[in-house]
């Protein structure tokens, strides 16, 4: 009725506070995939929380430890700490970032994450791993696709090693290319639930896409 009158074109999606679905949707991802935000003219969507719930909205504390791989420039870590105030947020990147209150940042390669003692001690205890990690592109598709897959594969292996097998969640941003199917197939062989989604806020011409994997144990 009031569409376009207030000039609102951004939204924060928050889901996961209930142990059982209420209504037609049980996750932020399903809200995005419904297409309702596109119809309403929203241009940018922000996601906080995940289907298993998190401590500030879930009394059981479903998201105690979070690992942000490829954290620079720090946007995801900042959002997570803002929404999940009681969570222990750990971030890693070879690039430095400005200090973020409440975020434990370490300048290190993802391949060498075991060298970071504070993170190493949480192996198998991380509830949520997110990754926005990407290699420098050469402009040569064959080389870029191979490099993207290699980095995604390393990140996936790290996530599996560090995630809790009891409802641990992995979300990775990658790109639609000839290697995407291989990455998704590997995730299907590991996780109990795997989903592919492209947020409505992502430009149609953009090749970026997100993969979601979750343990249900």
Catalytic residue among 81, 83, 167, 173: 173
pLDDT in tens, 184-204: 999 999 999 999 987 766 667
pLDDT band for position 19 (50/70/90)?
low
- Taking alpha carbons only, the member of 132, 113, 129 closest to residue 73 is 132
Structure pTM?
Answer: 0.71
Angle of CA points 200, 48, 217, to nearest 5° = 105
b/e burial code for range 104-143 (CB count within 10 A of at least 16 → b)? bbbeeebeebeebeebeebeeebbbbbbbbbeeeeeeeee
The pLDDT of residue 55 is 44
Count other Cβ atoms within 10 Å, centred on residue 89. Answer: 22
- Stretch 112-132: mean pLDDT: 96
How far is 205 from 182, CA to CA, in rounded Å?
22
For the chain, which domains are there?
53-214 (3.40.50.150)
Tokens of 210: 């997100």
Is 173 known to be catalytic?
A: yes
8 Å CB contact between 134 and 154: no
């Amino acid at each position: 009725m009031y569409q376009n009158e207030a000039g609102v074109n951004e939204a924060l999606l928050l889901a996961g506070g209930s142990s059982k679905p209420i209504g037609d949707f049980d996750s932020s991802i399903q809200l995005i995939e419904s297409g309702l935000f596109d119809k309403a003219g929203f241009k940018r969507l922000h996601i906080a929380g995940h289907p298993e719930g998190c401590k500030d909205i879930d009394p059981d504390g479903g998201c105690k430890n979070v690992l942000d791989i490829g954290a620079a420039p720090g946007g995801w870590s900042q959002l997570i700490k803002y929404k999940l105030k009681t969570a222990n947020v750990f971030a890693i990147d070879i690039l430095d970032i400005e200090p973020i209150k409440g975020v434990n940042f370490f300048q290190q390669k993802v391949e060498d994450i075991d060298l970071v003692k504070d993170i190493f001690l949480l192996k198998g205890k991380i509830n949520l791993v997110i990754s926005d990690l990407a290699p420098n592109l050469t402009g040569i598709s064959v080389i870029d696709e191979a490099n993207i897959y290699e980095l995604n594969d390393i990140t996936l292996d790290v996530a599996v090693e560090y995630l809790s097998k009891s409802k641990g969640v992995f979300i990775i941003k990658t790109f639609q290319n000839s290697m995407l199917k291989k990455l998704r197939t590997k995730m299907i062989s590991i996780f109990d639930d795997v989903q592919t989604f492209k947020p409505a806020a992502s430009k149609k011409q953009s090749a970026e896409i997100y993969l979601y994997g979750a343990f249900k144990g």
